[in-house]
Amino acid sequence: MLRASPISATVDFERDGVQHGHLRLPYSRDDSAWGSVMIPICVVKQGAGPTALLTGANHGDEYEGPVALFDLARTLRAEEVSGRVIIAPGMNYPAFQAGTRTSPIDKGNLNRSFPGRPDGGATEKIADYFARYLLPMADLVLDFHSGGRTLDFLPYAAAHTLPDKGQEKRCFDAVAAFSAPYSMRMVEIDAVGMFDTFAEEAGKAFITTELRGGGTATAESSRIAKTGVRNVLKHMGILEGAVEARTSRWLDMPSDSCFGFAEEAGLVEPLKDLGDRVAANEVVSRIHRIDRTGGALVEHRARIDGVLAARHFPGLAKIGDCLTVIATLSSKQ
């Protein structure tokens, strides 16, 4: 039997109306002996109906989610809502404040920390609270991601292929409703500990995004996020009105062969940009040695035909960095 979470909410999830409050995580430290991490949370509820759990900054350096969700929390009125919307724009709040992927408190990567522990580090405590307290209330989770400081993605909403085809359909219907410029069927290279995996195993509809990256948001990626979240709420019947549908290209990540990793450190010369068509064995980028002139180049080649869906963002790469993700064009939705 797990102990109760040390996190307490200053909002009442069962009360109708708009509430802005915090999830208070006790965090005793040098500058605040009985201090807390205060994770912003907003609940907008009216009557009976489905619950959407909306999360941003699961990784602290990904900004479209926080932009869309702070904006939604500021503007959403209870009268517009049938059911409940739980909005956590800065899920791993210490990481979000620091502008880093992982938490500066314990180096925890929240999206590798599920199901978490009530008696673990700060990041595990946050994971445990979302897993055991917020997730059970939700019919659907929309967990925003982007590439962070080290990756840049085509803007897409995504879900996973799942063994339960009814559940999978609920996920992909919500991805279609989000109406990002691209929609993705994903595989994961490292699914253990992810919020996605935990929520999917709990039978929830779970969708995620990758909406550009590089440690910033753009005007376009912010618009995509803001429209997408309202579209998902309309799709669920929580908001009235028709989904603002736009054409979305469906992509697949069929296997591990999508991913390309640097086998040499150095200066990255991109030969393809995001969205460009790539053929199997084509050179996508080249890595130049930077310790001397006249050194040999390393060519980085695509392993499959497709489009460049993500790439390493910084100009310099380390050995082992993810350099490229190639997705295949899907004929079917």
Nearer to Zn ion, 208 or 324 (CB): 208
Quick check: 123 and 113 in contact, CB under 8 A? yes
Q: How far is the CB of 95 from Zn ion (least distance, A)?
A: 10
Size of residue set near Zn ion by CB under 5 A: 3
**Least distance in angstroms from the C-beta of 99 to Zn ion:** 13
Q: What's the one-letter identity of residue 171?
A: C
Q: How far is the CB of 266 from Zn ion (least distance, A)?
A: 26
Question: What H or E segment, with its residue span, contains residue 283?
Answer: strand 283-288
**Residue 261 Cβ vs Zn ion, minimum distance, rounded to whole Å:** 18
Residues 72-91 that bind Zn ion (CB under 5 A): none
In 3D space, the residue among 157, 170, 171, 163 whose CA is nearest the CA of residue 208 turns out to be 157
Instruction: Considering the complex, state which of residue 59 and residue 272 has its C-beta at the smaller distance from Zn ion.
Output: 59
Closer CB to Zn ion, residue 145 or residue 160? 145
Among 145, 149, 160, 212, binds Zn ion (CB under 5 A): 145
- Complex with Zn ion: residue 98 or 298, whichever CB lies closer: 98
Closest of 39, 137, 128, 127 to residue 84, by C-alpha: 137
- Contact residue for Zn ion among 7, 18, 56, 59 (CB under 5 A): 59
Stretch in the footprint of Zn ion (CB under 5 A) among 9-17, 145-153, 275-283, 325-333? 145-153
Binding part of the chain for Zn ion, among 30-38, 59-67, 232-240, 289-297 by CB under 5 A, reads 59-67
Chain Cα centroid distance, residue 327: 18
- DSSP secondary structure string for all residues of 190-234: S-TT-HHHHHHHTT-EEEEEE---SSS--HHHHHHHHHHHHHHHH
Q: Does 125 bind Zn ion (CB under 5 A)?
A: no
Contacts of residue 199, Cβ cutoff 8 Å, sequence gap at least 6: 135, 138, 141, 206
Q: Are strands 51-55 and 140-143 parallel, antiparallel or unpaired?
A: parallel
**Could you tell me the smallest distance in angstroms from the CB atom of residue 301 to Zn ion?**
26
Binding to Zn ion by residue 149, rule CB under 5 A? no
Picking from 244, 238, 237, the residue whose alpha carbon sits closest to that of residue 78 is 238
Contacts with Zn ion by CB under 5 A lie at 59, 62, 145
